Structure 1
Amino acid sequence: MSPKQDEVIRPLANFHPSLWGDQFLIYDEEVQPEVVQIIESLKEEVRKELLIDLDDPTKHTDLLKLVDVIQRLGIAYHFEMEIYQALMHIYNVYGDRWNRGSPFIWFRLLRGQGFYVSSDIFNDFKDETGSFKESLTHDVESLLELYEATYMSVQGEAVLDDARAFTKAHLEKIAKDPIQCNSSLSRRILEALEQPIHRRLPRMNALRYVPFYEQQVSHNNSLLRLAKLDFNRVQSMHKKELSQLSKWWKGFDAPKNLPYMRDRLVEGYFWATGVFFEPQYSNSRIFWVKSFMMAAVLDDTYDSYGTFEELDIFTKAVERWSMTCMDTLPDYMKMIYKALLDIYDELEETMEKEGKAYQLNYAKETMKEFIRYQMMEAKWKNDGYIPTVEEHKSVAFLSCGYKMLVTAALVRTGDIITEESFKWIDTFPPVVKASSAVCRIMDDIVGHKEEQQRGHVASSVESHMKQHDLTNVEKVYDFLNQQVEDGWKEMNLESLICKDVPTPVITWVINHARVMDLLYKYDDTFTRVGEELKDNIKQCFIHAMSV
């Protein structure tokens, strides 16, 4: 028998309760049919514009700018085929040598679409000493475009590393200079320095870009109207999903039954829309959120509440994956175990009818794997063991849960995904490993001080300090932050060379890392929900855009 819970000393983390109460529980509005009709006719207008003048080279710069605006307004998912055709055409015509003016947007868009164009073109902007030309600093828009392009770099592209250092230094100066830039431009520069386009979530990028685009004298009214109407239509669907998930989560009654865990359903749903916000992935999003919330329950149970003996019993029960194991579990774990099995059971019949039962099997196996690695960390903590850097990576990159969540993201995504994609993720390919590294390291850095105070398992910070005999924790943070940058370069490379799976799969993997860049840059804002995340959630799920 396990010890009585009240006799056990547990390392409680004291997480704050949910900030949202029941406000998302009920939602029953519908998007008006006439709005859907307007959206469809606006889409047709934009579609024609994208395919016009492909054969006229004088229009190619405008075409790139149109694609850039469509992406930044958050409506590119309507025009994936047209955008691919347009950029493919430009790639076929120009190859690596774009000669229609500034190559900065060209480079960012083509690499973003998976075309491996060379960065050698950036050497044209250097002087005879090998430094970037000072004349670049006279055109702030162009400087910003160069800065944004540098975030598409892969390992070994020194010219882009130099360009990033050069543009960053000058943009920081310009943003503070009222003579060189007005308050609107200053804000844009600061936002770009805070988070470049390549690392932004599409919905958050749209929220920032729509008001800016509206102020441009040359803005396209059809595009602007489409962006606003579509944002609100998708928001309506998100509210409906959030209501459905809130009802499911309320049945859990986490504050009463699992008071030790982070009660973060709304934040978890925000995370899901960061991975994929598009309407066609509704079923998958719901499954992803349930998987995510179970992972959060399990993470807090393994990290902050369960005794080593209890966790050992639970891990063995998960391996067996059968309701007959319920009797072996401590009372508080029974509910967790049942909820875990239920998530997969409730989909089984549907998936079998669709001939896709294999998807659930992969999802289940990666969940078991996630729990096995959580258990390995619990053993380290129980033994007071600080692993080597390599040992830590081999466990922590899987205990962070991103491999499991990327697999969950593929379940019920329709016909674009075949079993090949699941098999590919199962091998823990470089892009998934890099996204997991970004997740684990960023989480370790921002949570380091607080977690060590409550006897958390040794993180990558401790492993590096011990192995390299370091005492200066700030230096370790700097070193680990560089590893995060390396992870981004690895993801960029994989998005260019990996042709094993459909493009959306790679995008979803990278989007998992983009969420980290938003939520874990300076603090763990998922655990300690701050004003910025609250504001982002309100903008995404409460306030509609004014049309």
Structure 2
Amino acid sequence: MEVKKEEIRPLANFQPSLWGDQFLVFDDQQEDQATLEKIIERLKEEVQKEILIAMDDVTKHTNLLKLVNDIKRLGVAYLFEQEIEHALHHIYKTYGDDWNGGSDALCMFLYTVSDIFNKCKDNEGSFKKSLTSDVQGMLELYEATYMRVRGEVILDDTLVFTKDQLQKITKDPLRWNCSLSLSKHIEEALERPIWKRLPRLDALRYIPFYEQQDSHDESLLRLAKLDFNRLQSLHKKELSQLSKWWKGLDPPKNLHYIRDRLVEIYFWALGVYFEPQYSRSRIFLTKVIKMAAILDDTYDSYGTYEELEIFTEAIQSWSITCMDALPDYMKITYKILLDCYCELEEIMATEGKTYQVYYAKESIKELSRCYMIEAKWCHEDYVPTTEEHESVTFISCCYVMITTASFMSMGDIVTEESFKWAVCNPPLVKASSAINRIMDDTVGHKEEQQRKHVVSTVECYMKEHDVKEEYVYDVFKQRVEDAWKDMNEELFVCKDIPMILKLRVVNLARIMDTLYQYDDTLKFVGEELQGYIKSCFINSLSV
């Protein structure tokens, strides 16, 4: 008896969505919006005055740096972009490299001036003993080391030293005169430093810590809480809009084989930018990432090799006329793909920026070509070299495509040169892609190899170098850290692209550190990710 193709498909049996229709209906429970806006505006003006006072008083420049840091950590920096820029420019213009107004580490974290770390060592090159008595300074020093680049040995040494000291402090905080609140704050920093945190999640952790500080500013604290809730309402509204779009596609019937992860993917887009001015960009990006996930599951977990060849050709042609050659289930996916980008094109045409969608299309075409190469490797049981594997999978991890898509509708700061830069896989994007691919493969390769699946980077490295799995994990862990260093360097070496765009790429790397540090949380949505989603979209902050 002939076996049907459907019976031998490489099904992954993904966990169903945990959220159902929970986010389908948007119920705005915010009190009078006009009143809320007035309160926020008044609090904003009060904080602006605090910044001006600190700028005018030369004795308060240390307070000014701390205030700027607090504003950033509390998630409201987007409300004070000009004020922050003027404040930091004012301090640097006043002091330059001679800054000596307080916490060297905090200054380093804001300015990324690595020479400051030399002041932390004595004449013999050892760390000063006095450093260990300043717990807050030690924490700031630790955080600042994550801005290092390759070759900065002193910062590597500083990280080892501060990490060791902070671990000792958390084991016996009372001995070090460390409050329980600060001890918990240190534990969170050791788990994930600020530089690797998504800003929205960092704000959630920093707000309660800031509230417990005797020196906290009441206006700033209340502003942070009210603004968090205000943005949460906007995000819930966007998620409701996307949920209606997704439900209208009837995924249980038309896309039964894929990961149903719309909420998690919106969280991904929120990690790229949470600010209100990027609302339309977030909705665009969520749909684009969702399309990439559908394609990924089609190539990885359902399509036969022959079907995928036809499907890839159809994506390259990008024409509704190609649908006739596709199997029925692929017709649905193909139409969703074309409709998604057609919608974007119509909207961007109203702004005279259809070129943006052109680059987005080209990047997803490249993505499908790389998926097809992986399908060919899997079909032929081929194990490429690590270099050959990464030349394909650093693209198939989607970050070139997502970076390009994330720029859409971000405003006049984005130019065609920005899109040309993104699609060429520049060093910054390549480093972020390396973090994506390596972390994804490290946590997911064992599960994937239990079914018919392309070999991961881990298996390629093991075979090529004849080493054990645990050895590869150690090598890859260091490669991830090196990729972070490369990104740090590119942030300042790459002068032609605005910092606001480059930070989208950094946020993409932060998302991987959040979602893939211990497990593939898109496949297996664990308690940690569920907690993030509830905090961001369900539970408001008490004011």
Superposed pair shares fold, TM > 0.5: yes
Asked if 1:124 corresponds to 2:119, the answer is yes
Question: C-alpha separation between the residues in 1 aligned to 2:259 and 2:165?
Answer: 42
Once the two structures are superposed, residues 222-269 of structure 1 have per-residue CA deviations (whole angstroms, 9 ceiling, x without a partner) of 101110110011000000000000001112222332222110000001
Aligned to 2:67: 66
- Determine the structure 1 residue equivalent to 2:152: 157
Aligned to 1:509: 505
Gaps of 5+ in 1: 112-116
Shift of 1:82: 1.4
Matching of residue 42 in structure 1 with residue 43 in structure 2: yes
What SS does the aligned partner of 1:96 have? Answer: helix
Q: Which of 396, 402, 406 is residue 405 of structure 1 equivalent to?
A: 402
1:440 maps to 2:437? yes
Q: Which of 133, 141, 147 is residue 138 of structure 1 equivalent to?
A: 133
Residues 1:416 and 2:413 aligned together? yes
Q: Is the 8 A contact 2:108 2:116 kept in 1?
A: no
Q: 1:41 to 1:55 in 2, by over 3 A?
A: closer
- The CA deviation at 1:7 is 4.6
State the shift of 1:94 in Å: 2.6
- Tell me which residue corresponds to 2:514: 518
Distance 1:505 1:254 in 2: 33
Matching of residue 94 in structure 1 with residue 89 in structure 2: no
Q: Which amino acid aligns with 2:355?
A: Y
- The one-letter amino acid paired with 2:107 is W
* Identity level (%): 64
Number of aligned positions between the proteins: 538
- Alignment partner of 1:437: what SS? helix
Given the alignment of the two structures, is residue 535 of structure 1 paired with residue 526 of structure 2, yes or no?
A: no
Asked whether the equivalents of residues 401 and 423 of structure 2 are also in contact (C-alpha less than 8 Å), the reply is no
Amino acid corresponding to residue 153 of structure 2 in structure 1: A
Q: Which amino acid aligns with 2:18?
A: L
Closer/same/farther in 2, CA of residues 239 and 85 from structure 1, 3 Å limit: same
> Structure 2: which amino acid aligns with 1:430?
P
What does residue 500 of structure 1 align with? Answer: 496
Q: Displacement, 1:301?
A: 1.0
* 1:110 to 1:4, Cα distance in 2 relative to 1, 3 A: farther
Note the alpha carbon deviations across 1:321-372, whole angstroms, 9 max, x for none: 0111111111111111000000111232322221101001011110111111
Output the aligned Cα RMSD.
Answer: 1.5
Please show how residues 200-219 of structure 1 align to structure 2 within 5 Å.
200-219=197-216
Name stretches of at least 5 consecutive residues in structure 2 with no aligned partner. Answer: none
Q: CA deviation at 1:283?
A: 0.7
What is the Cα deviation at residue 53 of structure 1?
4.3
Q: 1:489 to 1:455 in 2, by over 3 A?
A: same
Matches within 5 A, 1:219-258: 219-258=216-255
Distance in 1 of aligned mates of 2:518 and 2:145: 22
Taking the aligned partners of 1:276 and 1:308, their CA distance within structure 2 comes to: 37
Is the CA contact 1:17–1:255 (under 8 Å) kept in the aligned structure 2? no
Query: Which TM-score applies when normalising by structure 1?
Result: 0.96
Give the structure-2-normalised TM-score: 0.96
Question: Which one is further off, 61-70 or 138-147?
Answer: 138-147
1:80 maps to 81
Per-residue deviation, 1:533: 0.7
Following the alignment from structure 1 to structure 2, what is the Cα–Cα distance between the partners of residues 55 and 227? 24
SS for the counterpart of 2:174 is: coil
Tell me: CA distance 1:38–1:411, structure 2 relative to 1, closer, same or farther (3 Å): same
Say whether residues 1:265 and 2:266 are aligned partners: no
Secondary structure of 1:414's aligned partner = coil
Match of 1:114 in 2: none
Give the 3-state SS of the residue equivalent to 1:213 in structure 2: helix
Q: How does 1:323-334 map to 2 (within 5 A)?
A: 323-334=320-331
1:316 to 310, 313, 316: 313
* Mapped partners of 2:298, 2:144: distance in 1: 42
* Matched ranges for 1:301-380 at <5 A: 301-380=298-377
> What does 1:17-28 align with in structure 2 at a 5 Å threshold?
17-28=16-27
Query: Contact conserved, 1:73 with 1:227, CA < 8 A, in 2?
Result: yes
Q: Distance in 1 between matches of 2:515 and 2:6?
A: 36
Give yes or no for contact 2:271–2:511 (8 Å, CA) kept in 1.
yes
Which secondary structure does the structure 1 equivalent of 2:98 belong to? coil
Change (3 A) 1:183 1:5: farther
What are the Cα deviations for residues 397-434 of structure 1, in whole angstroms up to 9, with x where unaligned? 10000110111111111222111211111221111111
Q: Does structure 1 conserve the Cα–Cα contact (< 8 Å) formed by 2:264 and 2:522?
A: yes
Distance in 2 separating the partners of 1:432 and 1:100:
36
Q: 1:199 aligns with which of 190, 196, 199?
A: 196
**Counterpart residue number, 2:296:** 299
Larger deviation, residues 168-177 vs 46-55: 46-55
